[in-house]
Structure 1
């Protein structure tokens, strides 16, 4: 094959020498012009040849070329060594943007220019932050949450290179109370509540992926059966009728299909307060939520919600919330009267929906949840 190519090239050169000088000048193309136009080539393969997104046989397949197909090669680049029908080589020919074929299967009579090296990405810029803490060393975490794994710590006065910021758990620190967390050069996160720093760009969305809620497909009977033990345990601990707890959980979590309940085991939307999550929850999670004013004006914001290890913990925290809040004290005169209990809770301001009691009692009646209002 190499010999055939040599004789072909030699014959062309001899023919050109026999032409008049002016005609020769018209036939010879300047190297720059040849490179710009590309080099004509022929694919030499038994059937078809895969076109790859990069110079490697493991790169994504983005097309094919057939036997003896004519292609235009823009340039050549070094890649994976391939043994083909023409030669064994590490050269790969670019035949389009993001399209490469191994030169081991390409026959051409012209010299292919080298591909220009890819432009190096601009070096990232960092903002230097200064740690200020009256609470000892500040933890660096794997995510923008106080429940994320600890990746290290820094002392007050330390300088930290910061890349960008994200919204995370609310933290009340020495400098401020904020939901802003800053990503460091190393990829860990530190609460801005303990930092003095300049402005930072918002991190790309992929920097702190939102937990993906598992798919919950429990039937009503399955959901109720799973909820009964925790609801009855909360009755023993706090005095909330199990039928009320289960019905509220069904209504407020959509049978456990809401993002909060599926991801954080939070069935009642109980929020963290100034980064605190009480004695039963195991952390906080900041999510986007819709909030409405008393005037009925709604808006999108972020809020920090409690997370739990189990549904039973969520139920117990809900009961503790009602029991410890004096505004709901009147309801606990009806711990064995579910309908009056939920009515008193609603009247104390638990929900603004005028049909809230009707909805909760309707669920209790439809699924005969009163049967679980017994001590066990």
Structure 2
């Protein structure tokens, strides 16, 4: 199912904000630090660790702020340093560490997984599907794409036991961070094909695209195949997880739900993709961007 995708520049993964997950500060009060900001004008504090989250207040240059813990977020070049670190303040919002004078040793904020969403039935089938937040689109930055994909991938793990890290890596690779025509136009983030002109239980239709198929010897050629189209991004994530769970050729993977690297190796062996380097590419993504941190302990 591997699509012929362009390569995109990968950027550090970001941590979801309190709007998507519940942040629980593991630090004791003694771990808090009083810092000052260095900024030209004012610094925007936000309700998440990136500039596209809602601004909560403004902080003046040299103003003192109490910070309690740190998260990984949008990489910024500030007046003090270049960093992806964001500091959570005592009142619960976030400021970029790129504008913080000094470098206090802060503990990492502990992120609790969101509560399972209620279930609902998709319009095209009678079978219930767990509802997930609005998913990724083809117009997002890499950071936004990852942030939007995490809730859907974690919901899929609750429903199917497919590791979140595997789902995220496959979505990134198969869709080119959401920018492939298949994902941008048809919300298909996993290269899921139609078989016998049927879109299956969760997709809305089929669409023909050129794609690359490879032999076991690694010889690749261009062909045309029909791929599934989805009414929502959530349906694409649901269909992906259910396919891995229900198709017998992937059954061996579920002996390794706590070992994402071996899980995807078994999925590859089951015939998910013809690219001989498919497992290597996904493990590299999971390792380089520490996608394992989003796996749930079920």
TM, length-normalised to structure 2: 0.50
The structure having more radius of gyration, on CA atoms, is 1
Looking at both structures, which has the greater relative contact order when contacts are Cα pairs under 8 Å and sequence separation is at least 6? 2
Structure showing the higher strand proportion among its residues: 1
Q: TM-score, normalised by structure 1?
A: 0.40
